[in-house]
Amino acid sequence: SYISCWCMCDCDLDLMWKGYVRNPPGIAIKSSVRRLKEICDKALSHRPIDISKVSYFDHAGGENINYFGTPTAFLYKDKHFRLDNEIRIIHYPNVSEPSPTHVLLLVDLKDLIEDVVFQPRVKESTVKSVREALSRVGLEEIPVLASRDDRELIE
């Protein structure tokens, strides 16, 4: 199976920057559940895809989920991850075919990306480089935002 994980929080979280950016500077791609669903709907003709919200349970408190061997195993996490507020796009490949290392979905980035958000304390040179890269691929209209902690730093 191939999984793409998305946080459904209203703003960027320090927890996410610290947990997922190993080598700063980092950026986050902001999209919406509606946009993700539309992209998945378009891709369904090519691949079996599911988009579902993750459920959180209290494993330490004795709550168990019996999901051995079922696709729903990918849709549960311990409650200490609940701030992730996660939605997952899952592709279940045909088991009779060899499994590639990755699966590509043809996506128009203009349909996917609402904003590009930088992690806190990003350098202006990095912002400039990302804006130039967006411009080179025809995405100059996509807003480039600072982290909620630095909103005044990027116009």
- Averaged pLDDT for residues 114-139: 93
Using DSSP, state whether 90 is helix, strand or coil.
strand
CA distance 153 to 59: 42
Q: What long-range pairs does 6-13 form, CB within 8 A, spacing at least 24?
A: 6/31, 6/36, 6/86, 6/87, 6/88, 6/89, 7/84, 7/85, 7/86, 8/33, 8/53, 8/85, 8/86, 8/87, 9/83, 9/85, 11/148, 12/117, 12/119, 12/147, 12/148, 13/83
Q: What percent of the chain has pLDDT over 90?
A: 36
* Beta-carbon count within 10 A of 154 CB: 16
- Averaged pLDDT for residues 11-21: 86
CA distance 121 to 18: 13
Diameter of the chain measured on Cα atoms? 53
What tens digit of pLDDT does each residue of 20-52 get?
A: 888 888 999 999 999 999 988 887 767 778 899
Using DSSP, state whether 65 is helix, strand or coil.
coil
On whether the CB atoms of residues 92 and 71 are closer than 8 A, the answer is yes
pLDDT, the chain, mean: 85
Q: What percent of the chain has pLDDT over 70?
A: 91
pTM of the predicted model as reported, rounded to 2 decimal places: 0.80
- Averaged pLDDT for residues 73-92: 88
Q: Which of 16-20, 67-71, 101-105, 130-134 has the highest mean pLDDT?
A: 130-134
* pLDDT at residue 54 in the model: 93
pLDDT exceeds 90 at position 14: no
Q: Which of 28-32, 61-65, 119-123, 126-130 has the lowest mean pLDDT?
A: 61-65
